[in-house]
Amino acid sequence: MNPEHELTIHHPDPSLYNEDLAPIPHKERKWGWFEIFNVWSNDIQSLFGYSLAASLFISYGLNGWAVMAAIILAGVIVMFLVNLSGRPSVQYGIPFPVMIRASMGTKGANLPAMLRAIVGIFWYGVQTYFASTALHLLLAALFGDSGTPWLGMTPLGWVAFIAVWCFQLLMFWRGIEWIKTFLNWAGPLVYIVMVLLMVVIWYQAGDDIFPAIAHIFSGASETDATTNSIGAFFAITGTMIAYFAAVVINFGDFSRFVRSEGEMKKGNLIGLPLNLAFFSFITLMITAGTLAVFGKTMTNPTDIVAHVDSLPLTLLAAVTFFAATVGINLVANFIPPAYDLANLMPNKINFKTGGLITAIIAFVIGGLWVSLISKIGIPGFVNAIGAVIAPFFGIIVADFYRVRRQKLNIQALFSADPDSAYHYVNGWNRRALMAFGLAACFSLSAIWVPSLAALNGYAWLIGAALGGVFYTLFMFRQTPERLLAQTAP
């Protein structure tokens, strides 16, 4: 059968279909490995990504080689996970909320989609604020900063925040090709500036950088050393995996644009373990350099640039930090909620409308971040939601590879007919809900129960594995004939 014919939807239900959710024909896919590489480049090379990597070198009392190995191992594991979650969307050209209809049901898919949307919208607002601080740094360096703060931001800070919010919305409104172009530009630029910053710090440190590197590689730490080296190693690995978790579950939102599975896997290989190895080296050198030059290890790039006290570097770094933060925001926090909201009411909300709703809510969150939201415990609640959605990854993978044998009834994904394959009971798969509920209980327990605190770094992986195991067990209680009907074209 012609693959293009298989991706053509016949008589879709309006409550489940619009052009943005429809399968993308193979001939219309333009992304290759470089675009996927830059999805990860923008995810890794953000301000938070650098600060996280730098802190791992100095906070666990672990040998520097072991820290690098743990970070690279996390990249290998994440690469394996996204190759699994990305393949269905390469094969069928569908985004995450449509893909998960096969396991959760045509209506049940809205549960994981909306939970993912809540996490994305919240952090989109927060990251918009942090991106505005980079622009604020640039404007303040050029024009100075004065005025009475309002809601935690100066007038110039508000100008920067509104400008970043408008820029991101404009970028999104122009479509996925403009976003691709921005990511392809931002990823390499950030690397250039990070290498430049490393060279400047290394030059200022001179020969003193080598004792500083030896200090970090000796396993010395500014904080209490972790006595269990194996536990510290896997804690670092788990922390880095959790950092990528938001993109792992909905990677299909990006892989659906890729020309082939081979291109996707190549982009994931270069963009994850290889990229993380190089990024970790840069992070290590800069961190050691700050110890040699300033007498203390510094993990915030903006603080490092401020201490270097070079106006050209400050201006260039401000532009780069802005690009890096906008890049991760588009990848992890903007595109996914746009698809998720479109899936809620496809006949009324399309991709652009979903993005507009995301931006409006995020404006309020970002505007109130400093004065209110960062102080009232909401981030912890949102992070708990992020942990709860981990079982959906296991459910997606188990459904596609174990239950469906990598074959979907693409027409049924857009059908509300009670007899269609993925309608289940009123559009909800009760077995999938039970699997999610049981696995999510563990995810929450790992966060909220003090006696399980040691598992916190692995909560996402274990929650995902439990979701897949429970789903497989519950689904294979069905008759083989029923499962066959759900996978037949």
Confidence at residue 380, expressed as pLDDT on a 0 to 100 scale = 67
pLDDT averaged over every residue in the chain: 85
What are the pLDDT digits (tens) for 186-226?
Answer: 888 888 888 888 888 888 888 888 787 777 666 544 444 44
CB 329 within 8 A of CB 172: no
The whole-angstrom separation of Cα 482 and Cα 485 is 5
pLDDT, greater one: 426 or 144:
426
Selection from 76-90, 286-300, 434-448 with the highest mean pLDDT: 76-90
- Is the confidence at residue 2, as pLDDT, over 50? no
Question: Mean pLDDT over residues 230-234, rounded?
Answer: 83
Confidence at residue 33, expressed as pLDDT on a 0 to 100 scale = 96
Backbone angles phi, psi at 180, to 5 degrees: -60, -45
- Is the confidence at residue 483, as pLDDT, over 60? no
In the block, which residue shows the tokens 């652009």?
A: 352
What are the pLDDT digits (tens) for 454-468?
Answer: 676 678 888 999 999
Number of domains into which the chain is organized: 1
Domain containing 455 equals 3-487
Selection from 156-165, 167-176, 190-199, 307-316 with the highest mean pLDDT: 156-165
pLDDT, greater one: 24 or 382:
24
Per DSSP, helices labelled H in 60-175 are 64-92, 96-99, 101-104, 110-143, 155-173
The whole-angstrom separation of Cα 478 and Cα 339 is 31
**Per-position b or e across 20-49, b if 16+ CB within 10 A of its CB:** bbbbbeeeebebbbbbbbbbbbbbbbbbbb
CB 489 within 8 A of CB 410: yes
Question: Mean pLDDT over residues 215-239, rounded?
Answer: 67
Tell me the percentage of the chain whose pLDDT exceeds 90: 44
C-alpha 184: how far from chain center: 17
We report the CATH number of the domain holding residue 317 as 1.10.4160.10
- Is the confidence at residue 128, as pLDDT, over 80? yes
CB 94 within 8 A of CB 409: no
CB 432 within 8 A of CB 141: no
- Is the confidence at residue 124, as pLDDT, over 70? yes
- Is the confidence at residue 377, as pLDDT, over 70? no
- Is the confidence at residue 479, as pLDDT, over 90? no
Angle between helices 64-92 and 261-269 (to 10 degrees): 170
Distance in angstroms between the alpha carbons of the first and the last residue of the chain: 11
DSSP string, 356-409: HHHHHHHHHHHHTTTTTGGGTTHHHHHHHHHHHTHHHHHHHHIIIIIISTT---
Confidence at residue 221, expressed as pLDDT on a 0 to 100 scale = 46
pTM: 0.87
Angle between helices 275-294 and 301-308 (to 10 degrees): 40
